[in-house]
Structure 1
Amino acid sequence: MELRAAEPQRLYRQIAEQLRTLIAGGEFTPGTRLPAERELAAQLGVSRPSAREALIALEVEGWVEVRPGSGVYVVDRRGARTTAKVPPNEWGPLELLRARRVVEGEVAALAAAHAKRKHLQAIRDAIRAMKDEADRNVQPVMGDRAFHTAVAAACDNVVLLETVQTYWDARHGPLFERLGGHFETVPSWRTAIAEHELVLEAIASRDPQAAREAMHHHLEKAHARFSASWRRANTS
């Protein structure tokens, strides 16, 4: 089997297309275990996160299935009537988290410098909503959106506010939801809530650098949680 190096633009889609072509052409037959993520990334000359996003896209579209602790296997698509499609404009979830780290770190720093009492109260209310949802054994998704929106609102800049909301809302795409389905639980969200509290503490203390670092820490940990769950499923 020979794989060609992928071009840098829209990388996960190009990788997925190569693998889809190989599967359709019989290079990987139904029931076959695909090479591990590390091997695929090395053969394609791409990062492991890009290979991971491509495999998630193939899982969403029904070309492969992830068997936790075993690997990624080709699905027998004979007789399949419908095929899910990943929207062509969807961002890769891991790439999205990296972008959020850059933007929302600065947003948190600005919030620490400019937040008014009403903004601090909105951030506190959002964290309280997250805790209430978790206590009801509900993943606190809406509370999380309210938190990140409240932090951005404290910057008093509508472009930053809408950017943060757009980034957050992108988590409802099929790639992000499928990856989250491999690990997101109420206990994992409780860990995230504690990270949110550190962001609030820094903003309330009027410490831009501490707020930036706390937001960086939160989104780095979120990236690590997504990555670790996939590695366990894909056996690296």
Structure 2
Amino acid sequence: MELPSLKAERLYQKISTLVIALIKDGTFKQGQALPAERELAKQLGVGRSSVREALIALEIAGWVEIRTGTGVFVRQPDEVRIESALIDAEFSATDLLFARAVIEGEIAALAAKNGTEAQREDLARNIGMLEAQSVNNAAFLEEDKRFHLLISEMTGNAVLTEVMTVLWNKRYSPMFTHLETFYADEHIPVAMNADHRRIGEAILNRDARAAKNAMRAHLRNVHRRLFADAPDDVLPDNG
């Protein structure tokens, strides 16, 4: 007898699947506002960050509409674009930021030890270019990308640079970009550039431990911006 394969689901996927079932059985009716994130998290016994990711998945699929500052509303049945809400099933935004905190922390430490003088000069210039940006737009993202990739190049390890490129490109996933659209402040570069300055100064001072801790703190700050009430221990701490 051939048994059906079972598909592992992330918690946010299980939540979105449950919400779809409740929409289909009429518990949540079209045009109705879903309970607030905090209430959904309480009723389901899960964290708000998982609920937020579930709602983003449902928004991408067309099951709900997120109205910033108003709430999340059930869409008309003919607006559903994807029957399954298991959007971006390979990873969640929290998984991505966790992986980046683990890997980029070590990358920053190695960059502090191994970067050449020419690379240090490039990094100092890049920080200046970043600090000239105050709006979360394509120009800021391009300089932000250059910042993180340059640090990976400073390790002197081509594989780590390739890994960093893959991690960076995953931030363009539907899950991550929709989270930014609805929950990231337009002026987030101001706060992020304070982090970039601390990371850069630690690397330029050849302080590997401080560079690692500053990079991890930066990625925890990104997570806080996307998931305002998430606990601080979701991502790796300094060490």
TM-score, structure 2 normalization = 0.82
Taking the aligned partners of 2:38 and 2:76, their CA distance within structure 1 comes to: 24
Aligned to 2:152: 152
Asked if the contact 2:119/2:154 (under 8 Å) is kept, the reply is: yes
Aligned to 1:222: 222
Aligned to 2:48: 48
User: Alpha-carbon deviation of 1:186?
Assistant: 5.0
Asked if the contact 1:199/1:214 (under 8 Å) is kept, the reply is: yes
Residues 40 and 8 of structure 1: CA distance in aligned 2, closer, same or farther (over 3 Å): farther
Q: Which amino acid aligns with 1:153?
A: E
Asked if the contact 1:60/1:86 (under 8 Å) is kept, the reply is: no
Taking the aligned partners of 2:171 and 2:192, their CA distance within structure 1 comes to: 16
Asked if the contact 1:62/1:75 (under 8 Å) is kept, the reply is: yes
- What is the 5 A alignment of 1:87-236? 87-134=87-134, 139-185=139-185, 187-228=187-228
Aligned to 2:74: 74
Give 5+ residue unaligned stretches, structure 2: 1-6, 231-239
Residues 146 and 211 of structure 1: CA distance in aligned 2, closer, same or farther (over 3 Å): same
Taking the aligned partners of 1:190 and 1:86, their CA distance within structure 2 comes to: 34
Percent of residue pairs identical = 38
Taking the aligned partners of 2:185 and 2:93, their CA distance within structure 1 comes to: 17
Asked if the contact 1:120/1:204 (under 8 Å) is kept, the reply is: yes
Residues 151 and 48 of structure 1: CA distance in aligned 2, closer, same or farther (over 3 Å): same
Per the alignment, in what secondary structure is the counterpart of residue 228 of structure 1? coil
Asked if the contact 2:61/2:80 (under 8 Å) is kept, the reply is: no
Asked if the contact 1:131/1:140 (under 8 Å) is kept, the reply is: no
User: Alpha-carbon deviation of 1:98?
Assistant: 2.2
Taking the aligned partners of 1:229 and 1:43, their CA distance within structure 2 comes to: 17
Asked if the contact 2:32/2:73 (under 8 Å) is kept, the reply is: yes
User: Alpha-carbon deviation of 1:185?
Assistant: 4.9
Residues 223 and 88 of structure 1: CA distance in aligned 2, closer, same or farther (over 3 Å): closer
User: Alpha-carbon deviation of 1:154?
Assistant: 1.0
Taking the aligned partners of 2:24 and 2:69, their CA distance within structure 1 comes to: 26
Residues 137 and 37 of structure 1: CA distance in aligned 2, closer, same or farther (over 3 Å): closer
Q: Which amino acid aligns with 1:101?
A: A
User: Alpha-carbon deviation of 1:83?
Assistant: 4.2
Residues 77 and 135 of structure 1: CA distance in aligned 2, closer, same or farther (over 3 Å): closer
Alpha-carbon displacement from aligned partner over 1:10-69 (angstroms, at most 9, x marks no partner): 222222112112212222101222222233233334332122111110011111112223
Asked if the contact 1:90/1:173 (under 8 Å) is kept, the reply is: no
Q: Which amino acid aligns with 1:198?
A: R
Aligned to 1:36: 36
Taking the aligned partners of 1:119 and 1:53, their CA distance within structure 2 comes to: 37
The alignment's C-alpha RMSD in Å is 2.7
Taking the aligned partners of 1:126 and 1:48, their CA distance within structure 2 comes to: 35
